[in-house]
Structure 1
Amino acid sequence: MISPEFAQAARDEISRRCVIPAENITVCCIHTHSGPAFFKLAFEDTPAEGELTAALLTSTIESACRAWETRRPATPTMERVEIEGLYGNRNIKFGPEDKSCTVITFTADDGTAVGKLLNISTHPTILNGKSLVLSADLIGQLRLRLEDAWGCPVVCTNGTCGDVSTRFYRQGEGQPELMRTADELTRQVLNGLAPVALTSGEGTRASGVIRMPTVFDARTDEDWKRMTEAIEADPTAPTYPFYSARQQLKLAMSPINLTLVAHFAIFGNVIVITMPGDTLSSFGLKLKQAFPGFEVIVIGYANTYCNYLVPEEEYGKYFETFNSRTPRGACDRFVERIIGTIKSFL
Structure 2
Amino acid sequence: MKVGKARFCLSPKKEFYLIGYRSKNREYPAKGIHDDIYCNSLLFEWNGKNVFLFSADFIEFEAEMAEDVKTLLQNKYGIERDLVLLSATHNHSSVVSYHRSWYTGKFDQEYYDFLIKTIIDSYKVCQENMVEATVKYGKETILGYYGNRNHPGQPADNEVIVVKFYDENNKSFAGIVNWAVHSTVISPDNDLLTSELAGEVSKKLFTEFGFYPAMIVGAAGDCSNRNERQGNDFKELERVSTALAERIGNIETNFNIELGNIKYQSIYHTIHHNMEKVHEAAKVSLQEAKVKYEIETNCEKKRMLGLVIDDCLKNLNSNRFHLDVKFQVINIGKLQLFVFPGELGSKFGMELKKACSTLGLVLGYTNGYYQYFMPEEEYGLSFETINSRIPKGEPEKIISKLIQASYYLNTYE
Structure 1 length-normalised TM: 0.91
Where does residue 207 of structure 1 map in the other structure? 264
Amino acid at match of 1:17: K
Where does residue 321 of structure 2 map in the other structure? 256
Matched, 1:87 2:146: yes
Where does residue 185 of structure 2 map in the other structure? 126
Structure 2 length-normalised TM: 0.77
Partner secondary structure for residue 261 of structure 2 = coil
Where does residue 279 of structure 1 map in the other structure? 344
Query: Against the structure 1 CA distance between its residues 228 and 41, is the aligned structure 2 distance closer, same or farther, given a 3 Å change threshold?
Result: farther
**Higher RCO (C-alpha under 8 Å, 6+ residues apart):** 1
1:1-346 residue pairs with structure 2 within 5 A?
A: 1-37=60-96, 38-40=98-100, 44-95=103-154, 97-198=156-257, 200=258, 202-204=260-262, 206-218=263-275, 220=276, 222-233=277-288, 235-238=290-293, 240-291=305-356, 293-322=357-386, 324-345=388-409, 346=411
Q: Deviation of residue 75 (structure 1)?
A: 0.7
Distance 1:296 1:175 in 2: 33
Q: Deviation of residue 197 (structure 1)?
A: 4.4
Partner secondary structure for residue 157 of structure 1 = strand
Q: Deviation of residue 8 (structure 1)?
A: 1.3
Q: Deviation of residue 160 (structure 1)?
A: 0.7
User: Unaligned regions of 5+ residues in structure 1, if any?
Assistant: none
Contact 2:327–2:341 (Cα < 8 Å) also in 1: yes
Contact 2:137–2:256 (Cα < 8 Å) also in 1: yes
Contact 2:344–2:374 (Cα < 8 Å) also in 1: yes
Where does residue 40 of structure 2 map in the other structure? none
1:226-269 Cα shifts (integer Å, max 9, x gaps): 34214314622035433122111123344222111211122444
Amino acid at match of 2:99: F
Distance 1:194 1:286 in 2: 23
Q: Deviation of residue 294 (structure 1)?
A: 2.4
Q: Deviation of residue 69 (structure 1)?
A: 2.5
Higher mean displacement: 24-33 or 111-120: 111-120
1:276-312 Cα shifts (integer Å, max 9, x gaps): 1111111111212223x42211011111110111222
Aligned residues: CA RMSD: 2.1
1:50-90 Cα shifts (integer Å, max 9, x gaps): 33222222212211221122211111111222212100110
Whichever structure has more strand as a proportion of its residues is 2
Identity %: 23
Q: Deviation of residue 20 (structure 1)?
A: 1.6
Distance 1:11 1:230 in 2: 40
Partner secondary structure for residue 319 of structure 1 = coil
Query: Against the structure 1 CA distance between its residues 96 and 289, is the aligned structure 2 distance closer, same or farther, given a 3 Å change threshold?
Result: farther
Contact 2:133–2:167 (Cα < 8 Å) also in 1: yes
1:172-212 Cα shifts (integer Å, max 9, x gaps): 221000000000001101123353342x35323x3111111
Q: Deviation of residue 152 (structure 1)?
A: 2.1
Amino acid at match of 1:275: F
Aligned residues: 340
Query: Against the structure 1 CA distance between its residues 197 and 48, is the aligned structure 2 distance closer, same or farther, given a 3 Å change threshold?
Result: same
Distance 1:2 1:234 in 2: 30
Q: Deviation of residue 45 (structure 1)?
A: 4.3
Contact 1:31–1:124 (Cα < 8 Å) also in 2: yes
Query: Against the structure 1 CA distance between its residues 12 and 148, is the aligned structure 2 distance closer, same or farther, given a 3 Å change threshold?
Result: farther
User: Unaligned regions of 5+ residues in structure 2, if any?
Assistant: 1-59, 294-303
Distance 2:279 2:352 in 1: 28
Contact 2:329–2:405 (Cα < 8 Å) also in 1: no
Distance 1:283 1:275 in 2: 11
Query: Against the structure 1 CA distance between its residues 18 and 287, is the aligned structure 2 distance closer, same or farther, given a 3 Å change threshold?
Result: same
Distance 2:279 2:246 in 1: 44
